[in-house]
Amino acid sequence: MNKVNIAQLMADFPLLQQMVALKEVSWFNPNTTSLQEGLPYVGLNKNNIQEASDRLTRFAPYLVKAFPETAKTNGIIESEVVEISAMKSQLEQQYKVEIKGKLLLKKDSHLPISGSIKARGGIYEVLTHAEKLAIKAGLLMVSDDYSKLFTDEFSSFFSQYSIAVGSTGNLGMSIGIMSAKLGFSVSVHMSADARQWKKEKLRSHGVNVVEYSEDYGVAVEQGRKEAENDPKCFFIDDENSQTLFLGYSVAGERLKQQFEEMHIVVDENNPLFVYLPCGVGGGPGGVAFGLKMAFGDNVHCVFAEPTHSPCMLLGILTGLQDGIAVQDIGIDNITAADGLAVGRASGFVGRAMERLLDGFYTISDQRMYDLLGLLNQVERIQLEPSALAGMLGPIVVASSDEYLERINMSNNKLANATHLVWATGGGMVPAVEMEKYLSKADS
Ligand SMILES: *Cc1c(COP(=O)(O)O)cnc(C)c1O
């Protein structure tokens, strides 16, 4: 992996020079294809998403009992979509750009159980593992009422097994809380950037939190190593897991249904643009896959990364995928957007999704704080910094004439567009922490 000639790379991809200088950049992928052409590279299909959706339905009666806050959605972990028109006007004024169409926010920030997008993939992977163990032991059948998992019999069964994961915070929260609730012994290996309150919250749930002074890559490696020495330990691999990816992908069909209820049309003349904050890539990649399967070529997915951690852009732009890390070109991977503080992207997600993503852009930490303050001020919605990365997306797209022309986006179509910013976290940030975030905003 260290064979990469960095000087040559910088010459081949001039955009890298701006990235190294920590400038905000955007790149619209010239290799984007239709869904039909791109799908074979994903290696997964509609049936896989359906299986994931069915599994979540089987677990719903359990979740209602284990987490009563999920009762109002009958044990389905799903978030609201809201229109943020005051935010839209503010963005238009501040950036002096017209955003044609509607601006909506997908509030995964307020998903039950763990307050972030990780409540999709992380929880799904733990449930998948638990189901497999229980079925193998002859304790469970898929036709059973899964609320029986909320009993001492099952928690003592699961307590023989352990689960480990490496995390910048939110994945650890989802996996830690879910695993501990089922009865597993669970260790979360936390990178240096993980917030103290997240560690404390996990410990209060009985989770073993292991702290590192290094970044996410190191925390994952250590977690993986520890799990290798224990045959009863299952390591959740955020960098390569198809299961996590599928847990996220269920969001596509769910969003389609929400849009139907809201009378929002997505078709050739009513395009959908979705802006997804990207860390290692599993969350936004899985969601984008689900969206593509639900809306086909009428959805345009754009990933947002911090200027200090543009790992997916780096991997896909250069074609090196997980063969290069931002540190290799002198970018430090230190950002206030802790959920996105990842230096090396998932190779699995990059290779699977590169043809199905329209573009990428980077955003500075200060801009995330400013958008955080603005959203709070005009919409009274509070998010964590990572979750604001997507908020610049409508501005970036509206200012990219070349891209819009390439995808044949006429002004007529744009006038009917729906812009959906995926708010990925922040619902459980304690008030004192939120005050600190808000104090960093300039507005
Ligand atoms: C994890 C996370 C993301 C990105 O997900 P990845 O799977 O790491 O790409 C975005 N926002 C928040 C708040 C997160 O916690």
Distance 310 CA to ligand 1 centre (A): 13
Model pLDDT, residue 2: 55
Task: Specify the DSSP class assigned to residue 344.
Answer: S
Assign a CATH topology to domain 118-239.
Answer: Rossmann fold (3.40.50)
Mapped onto helix, strand or coil, the DSSP state of residue 248 is helix
Work out the number of other CB atoms within 10 angstroms of the CB of residue 378. Answer: 17
Parse the chain into domains and list their residue ranges.
3-114+245-439, 118-239
> CA 275, CA 279: separation in Å to the nearest integer?
13
Ligand 1 pocket: which of 110, 124, 237, 386 to mutate (most atoms <8 Å of CB)? 386
Matching CATH topology for 3-114+245-439 and 118-239? Answer: yes
Model pLDDT, residue 193: 79
The CB-side HSE value for 143 (13 A sphere, CA atoms) comes to 0
CATH of 3-114+245-439, one of 3.40.50.1100, 3.30.70.20, 3.90.850.10, 3.40.50.2000: 3.40.50.1100
pLDDT tens track of the chain, all 443 residues? 457 899 999 999 999 999 999 999 999 999 999 999 999 999 999 999 999 999 999 999 999 999 999 999 999 999 999 999 999 999 999 999 999 999 999 999 999 999 999 999 999 999 999 999 999 999 999 999 999 999 999 999 999 999 999 888 899 999 999 999 999 999 999 988 788 999 999 999 999 999 988 888 888 888 898 889 899 999 998 888 999 999 999 999 999 999 999 999 999 999 999 999 999 999 999 999 999 999 999 999 999 999 999 999 999 999 999 999 999 999 999 999 989 999 999 999 999 999 999 999 999 999 999 999 999 999 999 999 999 999 999 999 999 999 999 999 999 999 999 999 999 999 999 999 999 999 999 85
> CA 296, CA 360: separation in Å to the nearest integer?
19
Model pLDDT, residue 443: 58
> CA 234, CA 59: separation in Å to the nearest integer?
20
- Ligand 1 pocket by Cβ (under 6 Å): 116-118, 170, 277-284, 339-340, 342, 384, 386-387, 424-425
Helix (H) or strand (E) holding 360: strand 359-363
Mapped onto helix, strand or coil, the DSSP state of residue 109 is helix
Q: Is the pTM of this model over 0.75?
A: yes
Distance 387 CA to ligand 1 centre (A): 8
Q: What phi-psi label fits residue 101: left (phi over 0), alpha (psi between -120 and 50 degrees) or beta? A: left
> CA 389, CA 423: separation in Å to the nearest integer?
8
